[in-house]
């Protein structure tokens, strides 16, 4: 059985925070506000994977009310989600993520992001796609108030009727 999931995340950009996207620290004067490291890319991917496997969402498994996740590396959420997928018999067929951010430009960091994400998910690099786009200065991302990410994934179940 093939399953598809969609994830979306957005974080406010603020001073005195690091900007972490796809597990990579991006030099910039603002960073994403969040209980964890605020990595919208990893959060969107985690939600897509959890949704495709009908295992809930990132807030259910890693709540922002739990001090254990304060400052947590979001790329490590992906490793934990991969373990959950393994436990219920799903394998990753594809992950496609889009970063929505006016600035800074992040294209040069995408190969590193893909590598870290593939390592966290224990899958081939060819199964991971990361892209970036702006919103032409429209909306909260276009005004530089936030970073957003969306992701879609495809999973294959090794369990009959899965």
Question: If you search the block for the tokens 């994830």, which residue do you land on?
Answer: 7
What is the pTM assigned to this prediction? 0.95
Residue 162 placed within a domain: no
Residue 83 placed within a domain: yes
Q: Which domain holds residue 21?
A: 2-157
What is the pLDDT at residue 160? Answer: 60
Residues 121-124: contacts with CB within 8 Å, 24+ apart? 121/49, 121/78, 121/79, 121/81, 121/82, 121/92, 121/95, 122/79, 122/82, 123/92, 123/95
Number of domains in the chain: 1
What is the pLDDT at residue 161? Answer: 54
User: Is the bond preceding residue 69 a cis peptide, omega within 30 degrees?
Assistant: no
Q: What is the CATH number of the domain that holds 31?
A: 3.30.1330.50
What SS3 class is residue 84? helix
List the chain pLDDT tens, one digit each, 162 residues: 999 999 999 999 999 999 999 999 999 999 999 999 999 999 999 999 999 999 999 999 988 888 887 878 999 999 999 999 999 999 999 999 999 999 999 999 999 999 999 999 999 999 999 999 999 999 999 999 999 999 999 999 987 655
Residue 152 placed within a domain: yes
Helix (H) or strand (E) holding 59: helix 58-61
What is the pLDDT at residue 89? Answer: 96
What is the pLDDT at residue 64? Answer: 84
């Amino acid at each position: 059985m093939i399953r598809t999931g969609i994830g979306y995340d957005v974080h406010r950009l603020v001073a005195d925070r690091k900007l972490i996207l796809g597990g990579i620290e991006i030099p910039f004067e603002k960073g994403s506000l969040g209980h964890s490291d605020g990595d919208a890319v990893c959060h969107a991917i985690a939600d897509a994977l959890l949704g495709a496997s009908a295992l809930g969402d990132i807030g259910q498994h890693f709540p922002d009310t739990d001090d254990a996740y304060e400052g947590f590396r979001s790329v490590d959420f992906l490793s934990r989600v991969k373990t959950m997928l393994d436990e219920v018999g799903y394998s990753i067929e594809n992950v496609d993520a889009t970063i929505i951010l006016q600035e800074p430009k992040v294209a040069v960091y995408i190969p590193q992001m893909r590598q870290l994400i593939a390592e966290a998910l224990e899958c081939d690099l060819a199964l991971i796609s990361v892209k970036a786009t702006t919103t032409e200065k429209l909306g909260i991302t276009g005004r530089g108030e936030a970073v957003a990410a969306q992701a879609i994934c495809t999973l294959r179940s090794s369990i009959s009727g899965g």
